[in-house]
Amino acid sequence: MTENIEILYEDDSIIAVNKPNNILVYASYFARNIKDDDLVTLLKQQTGFDLYPIHRLDRKTSGILLFAKEKEFVKDYQQQFENNKVQKQYYAVVRGYCQAKGIIDTPTKNAETGMYKEALTEYETLETIELNIPVIPYDKSRYSLVKFTPKTGRMHQLRIHANKISHPIVGDYQYGDRFHNRMFENEFNWNNMFLHAGKLAIKKANTEERLLLKSSFPNDWDKLFETFNWKKPQ
C-alpha cells in the first residue's frame, strides 16, 4: 500500500486514523496467513511512532481507529471502551428492507475464548432501494442503509447482530449472504465489506474534554451513494 493513512486527529497522547478496508490492525496468530503489512507497521513507517492500538476494527471494516503514542495512555482509553463510555456510530449496507428502528440484544460468542457475552446494538434505517437485479431466489434485490449504535463492544458484534435479524451486511463472507456479495462484485465491482465506523466520541485522557471524531467514507461507498441516489450521512 503506497497511499498514506488519513490522520483524523492527533495530540500528545493519541492519534486517530481513518482505517482503510482490508488492513489488519496488528498481526496476530489468527491472521497468520495474511502477509500484507498491518496498520501498526504502516503507521510506524508514516509517522515514525511506535503506536499502541486502543481498540480494534475487523480487517474488512473501515473507519475511525485510535492509537496511543505511549503505553501509559492505553489503559485510560481502554477503560472507557470497556465501561461503555465511548459513543460509536457505524454505517452498513445490509440485505433486504430493514425495519425503521430496533434493538438487538443477542449475546455473542468470542471466537478466541469460546465464551458468550451480553451484547446490545441499536439500529436505524436511513435509506432503502429495490434493484431490478435478480439474486437467488428472487427476481429483484433489496438493500438498506443502516446506522448501528453499539452499546457494547464485542468481537464481530455488528456483523453477528445484522445476521441475527436476517439483514446481513453486504460483503461479509463470514456472516453474510454470498449471493448478494457476488452480485455487488459482479454488477458494480464493489468488493469490500460495507461496514464503516463513521463517528466516535471519547473523553481525552486525564481531562473532562470530549473528543468528537468523524471519518469520510471509502471510494466504494461514495460510488454506492451516487449509484443508489442515497443521501450520505453527515
Q: What is the pLDDT of residues 175-196, one digit of tens each?
A: 999 999 999 999 999 999 999 9
Indicate whether 55 belongs to any domain: yes
Residue 58 annotated in active site: yes
Indicate whether 63 belongs to any domain: yes
CATH number for 53: 3.30.2350.10
Indicate whether 1 belongs to any domain: no
Indicate whether 121 belongs to any domain: yes
Which one from 37, 50, 58, 220 is the annotated catalytic residue? 58
Question: For residue 33, is pLDDT > 80?
Answer: no
Indicate whether 114 belongs to any domain: yes
Indicate whether 24 belongs to any domain: yes
Indicate whether 148 belongs to any domain: yes
Q: What is the pLDDT of residue 119?
A: 94
Q: What is the pLDDT of residue 32?
A: 52
Indicate whether 25 belongs to any domain: yes
pTM summary value: 0.93
Buried (b) or exposed (e) across 66-80, using 16+ Cβ within 10 A? bbbbeeebbeebbeb
Count how many domains the chain has.
Answer: 1
Domain region containing 41 = 6-228
Over residues 27-41, the mean pLDDT reads 66
Query: Could you tell me whether strands 195-203 and 62-68 are parallel, antiparallel, or unpaired per DSSP bridges?
Result: parallel
pLDDT bin (cut points 50, 70, 90) of residue 29 is very low
Q: What is the pLDDT of residue 115?
A: 85
